[in-house]
């Protein structure tokens, strides 16, 4: 027997007709949700234990207005806020501009460039501690290589880590040296995703290398650049390792950033609530960066 | 019986939950008769070995289990701080920073156990001058009591290289070093000038004075307070009230800061001294790039005593010496500050009796003498009976019968000089003044920011007032 539907199509055999769902959608939903919860429970538990709970406790401790009065009245905090601003603005921008430019160099298909790229990755791959300690030795005013070279060529030696500007500059330079390779590789991947036809078309139109960069490469890297900038700002705002190991806030507590100052308040001075208040001051800016980032990548 | 998917999920969830509960990380919270002891890692293996021996003896005698862990001082301070804040504590904690960074502030917050009963028992043995450091205020109970058990002390000494002075053509014997204020400091400047003149290539980067002037180093506050005493300045009165702003004291603070500023800018102190940590003057001294350095413990000679590259201990006995802080600018003999290292029992410890028994066991005369001598004179005992051991007067004997130029100097300072403990016992806010290194900051204002000394002094005094105002 030929089975047809009212519309004239083939009708399925009664044996293969899928029975209409039982009229218990809410229960089914509940059941599936429950199963989902069971499977995600470990992750939810970890998230609650290591993200939600610490943040809630942190905000609770940081909610005392006296803590804000105390840190805002501390002259070191004001210097620190300015340092953090300059650290983020200068280090992030210099690093990313250099990364975009260097990614162009590493994009050349020569074996020597590949070797160079491998060497270039070393600073990012090595642990921060030996790198920073080496850099500190190089900057030592008595026996550091920089001052040795300066004095060899007749210049006066510079107490690099013993004055505010050069000490903060040293922190920025190390940060850039350390993280530049990572962002360069990101931009290199971005460049490699640009279709070659666009460059061929530009070449037919007589575009120079500079014109290619400004009219083809950079417009297509723009979104990536902005995302990288926001990500790097979030990372740099919370950077503790480089400033702490490089200067420890010296000279005269003038080179602290918010992360190191919070650490100083919490562990040197035993003022947990001040440390958390210091982080909370930076929280709106961090959340703004994260919000912009999420909007940009449409999460 | 066949297991359904639902059964499987139920079993899995229940199992995971149980495993999670059982597997919760064990805490350091002291429980039962197991005594948790956090001890400062010694500078020398002999110190740790001596403490391990004490623990074994205690376990055998008291039939108790002791969980002993050693941690380096900087990390241990953070560990103790975190434990006290989180109220998950050891039963006994001994850190070299307890005296000024733990006892005053956590006794104030009622986080430490009152150990006055232990102190009363030990009182006849104590050097009274050292005992006061642990007699601090509990702001919750509104009473003063002993919240720590002092055991050993350090004070300020000056170490110098005799071989460098000889090479500079200067007298190198300790009794030949001029002790008048200006002559004393000029002596090291003269040594730097002479050495650089003699061999510019070899000594071009040598400095006469290794004076730490950094906010990163606790040596800075020791240096400042010693110099302030020399200039007859005081920060607090006997009741712990600020008197730093009184004209006489302000004047002394300005003079002290000016002196530090001029010393730094004179070119006789390494430019990196504003960025030094506590170990950097030691490192500079050991590498012969400093002629002298003030150091508030005997760690430098003790390190040379154990120098494996110098089996004859030539550096310790012949090439270097320890001398006293000079007489003040007014010609009076130097007055000294002592930092007294202290054991604490957290209030949240569940084994307070056993903890106190342990402390009393550690400080028994012979046992403690063995422990503290393992540090080779780095610390001086807080107990008179232990300090009466001839070792403290004679020190070590050299392989060729040489005299010890270090340990006996410290003993003279402790026993014969005008010596008092740091005053953070008077008010916990002073502990924060030290934590913030307010005077290190003032030094940086002068040498880095080029502020005049009086402006830097006034900023420091105002900061101290603000810190005290926060402790209601």
Q: Which domains does chain A have, with CATH numbers?
A: 75-296 (1.10.3720.10)
- Share the mean pLDDT of chain A: 87
Residues of chain A with pLDDT > 70: what percent? Answer: 89
Out of B205, B274, B440, the one facing A142 most closely (by C-beta) is B205
- Beta bridge pairs of residue B35: B66
ipTM above 0.95, yes or no: no
Percent of chain A at pLDDT exceeding 90: 63
Contacts of B202 in chain A (CB under 8 A): none
Q: Which residues of B touch A168 (CB under 8 A)?
A: none
A65: left (phi over 0), alpha (psi -120 to 50) or beta: alpha
CB contact under 8 A, A252 and B274: yes
Phi, psi of A178 (to 5 degrees): -70, -45
Closest by CA to A254, choosing from B261, B442, B457, B264, is B442
Dihedral angle at the C-alpha atoms of A79, A275, A266, A251, nearest 10 degrees? -10
In this model, does residue A284 exceed pLDDT 50? yes
Q: Are B443 and A252 a contacting pair at CB < 8 A?
A: yes
pLDDT at A108 over 70: yes
**Least trusted range by pLDDT, from A18-22, A59-63, B154-158:** A18-22
Vertex B75: Cα angle to B56 and B444 (nearest 5):
140
DSSP class per residue in chain A: ---B-TTSSBPPPTTTPPPPPPS-HHHHHHHHHHHHHHHHHHHHHHHIIIIIHHHHHHHHHTT-HHHHHHHHT-HHHHHHHHHHHHIIIIIHHHHHHHHHHHHHHHTS--HHHHHHHHHHTHHHHS-HHHHHHHHHHHH-TTT-HHHHHHHHTTPPP--GGGSHHHHHHHHHHHHHHHHHHHHHHHHHHHHHTS-HHHHHHHHHTT--HHHHIIIIIHHHHHHHHHHHHHHHHHHHHT--HHHHHHTTTTTTT-S--HHHHHHIIIIIS--HHHHHHHHHHHHHHHHHHHHHHHHHTT-
Give the pLDDT of residue B306. 87
How large is the average pLDDT for residues A37-42?
Answer: 90
CB contact under 8 A, B441 and A269: no
Chain B residues lying within 8 Å of A157, measured CB to CB: 271
Burial degree of B64 (CB within 10 A; 0-12, 13-18, 19+): middle
Give me the pLDDT at residue A20, please: 59
From A177's Cα to the closest Cα of chain B, the distance in A is 22
**Bridge pairing between strands B336-344 and B92-94:** antiparallel
Q: Do A250 and B275 touch (CB under 8 A)?
A: yes
Question: Beta-carbon neighbour count of residue B413 at 10 Å?
Answer: 21
Q: Quick check: A192 and A110 in contact, CB under 8 A?
A: no
Q: What is the mean pLDDT of each run of 10 residues along chain B (472 residues)?
A: 47 45 42 85 91 97 95 93 93 96 95 98 96 96 97 96 98 97 98 96 94 94 97 96 97 98 95 91 95 94 91 95 97 96 97 97 97 90 96 93 95 94 96 94 94 97 94 77
Distance CA B274, CA B272 (A): 5
Reported as a pLDDT band with limits 50, 70 and 90, residue A35 is confident
- In total, the C-beta contacts within 8 angstroms joining chain A to chain B are 102
Chain A 33-62, CB below 8 Å of chain B: which residues?
A: 35, 38, 41-42, 45
Which of B441, B447, B459 is facing A253, going by the closest CB pair?
B441
Q: Which of A35, A41, A250 sits opposite B215 (nearest CB)?
A: A250
């Amino acid at each position: 027997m030929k089975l047809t539907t009212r519309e004239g199509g083939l009708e399925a055999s009664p044996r293969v007709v899928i029975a209409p769902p039982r009229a218990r959608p809410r229960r089914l939903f509940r059941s599936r949700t429950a199963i989902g919860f069971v499977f995600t429970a470990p992750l939810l538990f970890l998230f609650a234990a290591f993200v939600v709970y610490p943040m809630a406790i942190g905000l609770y401790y940081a909610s005392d207005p006296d803590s804000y009065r105390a840190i805002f009245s501390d002259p070191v905090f004001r210097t620190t806020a300015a340092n953090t601003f300059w650290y983020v603005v200068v280090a992030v921008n210099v690093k990313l501009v250099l990364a975009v430019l260097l990614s162009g160099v590493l994009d050349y298909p020569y074996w020597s460039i590949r070797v160079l790229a491998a060497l270039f990755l070393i600073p990012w791959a090595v642990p921060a501690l030996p790198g920073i300690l080496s850099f500190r030795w190089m900057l030592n005013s008595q026996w550091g290589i920089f001052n040795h070279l300066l004095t060899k060529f007749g210049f006066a030696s510079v107490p690099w880590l013993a004055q505010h500007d050069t000490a903060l500059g040293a922190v920025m330079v190390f940060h850039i040296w350390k993280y530049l390779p990572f962002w360069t590789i990101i931009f290199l991947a971005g460049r490699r995703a640009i279709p070659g036809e666009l460059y061929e078309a530009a070449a037919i139109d007589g575009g120079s290398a500079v014109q290619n960069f400004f009219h083809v490469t950079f417009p297509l890297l723009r979104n990536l650049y902005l995302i990288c900038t926001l990500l790097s700002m979030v990372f740099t705002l919370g950077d503790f390792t480089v400033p702490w190991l490089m200067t420890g806030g010296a000279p005269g507590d003038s080179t602290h950033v918010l992360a190191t100052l919070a650490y100083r308040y919490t562990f040197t001075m035993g003022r947990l609530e001040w440390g958390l208040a210091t982080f909370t001051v930076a929280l709106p800016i961090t959340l703004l960066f994260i919000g912009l980032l999420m909007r940009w990548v449409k999460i | 019986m066949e297991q359904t998917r639902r059964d499987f999920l139920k079993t899995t969830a229940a199992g995971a939950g149980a495993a999670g509960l059982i597997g919760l990380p064990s805490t350091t919270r002291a429980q039962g008769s197991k005594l948790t002891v956090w001890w400062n890692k010694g500078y020398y293996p002999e110190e740790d070995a001596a403490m391990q021996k004490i623990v074994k003896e205690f376990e055998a005698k008291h039939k108790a289990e002791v969980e002993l862990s050693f941690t380096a001082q900087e990390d241990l301070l953070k560990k103790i701080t975190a434990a006290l804040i989180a109220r998950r504590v050891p039963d006994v904690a001994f850190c070299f920073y307890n005296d000024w960074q733990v006892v005053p502030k956590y006794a104030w917050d009622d986080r430490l156990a009152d150990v006055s009963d232990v102190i009363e028992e030990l009182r006849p043995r104590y050097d009274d001058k050292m005992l006061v450091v642990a007699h601090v205020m509990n702001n919750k109970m509104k009473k003063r009591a002993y919240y720590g058990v002092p055991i050993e002390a350090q004070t300020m000494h000056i170490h110098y290289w005799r071989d460098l002075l000889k090479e500079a053509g200067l007298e190198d014997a300790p009794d030949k070093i001029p002790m008048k204020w200006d002559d004393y400091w000029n002596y090291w400047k003269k040594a730097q000038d002479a050495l650089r003149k003699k061999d510019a290539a070899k000594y071009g980067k040598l400095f006469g004075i290794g004076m730490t002037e950094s906010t990163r180093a606790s040596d800075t506050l020791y240096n400042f307070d010693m110099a302030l005493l020399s200039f007859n300045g005081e920060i607090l009165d006997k009741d712990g009230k600020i008197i730093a702003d009184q004209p006489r004291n302000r004047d002394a603070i300005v003079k002290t800061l000016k002196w530090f500023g001029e010393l730094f800018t004179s070119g006789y102190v390494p430019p990196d001294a504003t960025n030094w940590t506590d170990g950097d003057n030691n490192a500079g001294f050991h590498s012969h790039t400093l002629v002298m350095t003030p150091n508030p413990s005997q760690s430098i000679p003790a390190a040379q005593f154990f120098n494996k590259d110098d089996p004859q201990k030539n550096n310790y006995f012949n090439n270097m010496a320890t001398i006293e802080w000079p007489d003040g600018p007014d010609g009076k003999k130097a007055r000294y500050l002592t930092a007294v290292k202290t054991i604490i029992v957290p209030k949240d410890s569940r084994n307070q009796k056993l903890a106190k028994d342990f402390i009393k066991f550690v400080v028994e005369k012979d046992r403690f003498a063995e422990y503290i001598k393992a540090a080779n004179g780095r610390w001086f005992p807080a107990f008179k009976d232990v300090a009466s051991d001839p070792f403290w007067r004679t020190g070590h004997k050299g392989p060729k019968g040489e005299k010890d130029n270090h340990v006996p100097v410290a003993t003279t300072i402790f026993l014969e000089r005008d010596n008092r403990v740091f005053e953070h016992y008077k008010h916990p806010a002073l502990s924060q003044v030290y934590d913030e290194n307010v005077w290190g900051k003032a030094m940086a204002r002068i040498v880095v920011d080029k502020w005049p000394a009086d402006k830097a002094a006034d900023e420091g005094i105002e900061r101290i007032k603000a810190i005290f105002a926060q402790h209601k």
